[in-house]
Amino acid sequence: MKFEDSLLDDIVILNVSGKIMGGEETTMFHGKLHEYINQNKKNIVVDLSRVDWVNSVGLGMLISALTTVKNAGGRLVLANITKIESILTITRLISVFEHYDSREEALKSFA
């Protein structure tokens, strides 16, 4: 897994790519999330358009991110879940995450 982060106005965009399966990148992802929260940037879009695959550890990373942001009084949404929608549906996490078909729709949800 790799990720890039950017800011659009007051919204954090985390572009994730590759396979989400834990490891050092997960720690870095959470570190970056905490950095933004500490800067009071608590509206977060996780763009999954370039994610190929996710395992249970990867799902745990997303759940942990959601919990961290919610506990800080923020909002985390997923965008472009097409490639992992089946695993989210099977695990019933589809109802836990607010999700949008595109990054644009996800960004508009913060308006």
Domains in the chain: boundaries: 2-108
Q: Would you state the CATH architecture of domain 2-108? A: 2-Layer Sandwich (3.30)
Largest Cα separation within the chain, whole Å, is: 35
Mean pLDDT for the stretch of residues 31-57: 96
The position carrying tokens 């909002």 is 75
CA angle in degrees (0–180, nearest 5) for 11-63-67: 65
Can you give the pLDDT at residue 22?
86
**pTM of the entire predicted model:** 0.95
The position carrying tokens 């960004």 is 107
Asked whether the predicted pLDDT for residue 87 surpasses 90, the reply is yes
Share of the chain above pLDDT 90, in %: 97
Asked whether the predicted pLDDT for residue 74 surpasses 90, the reply is yes
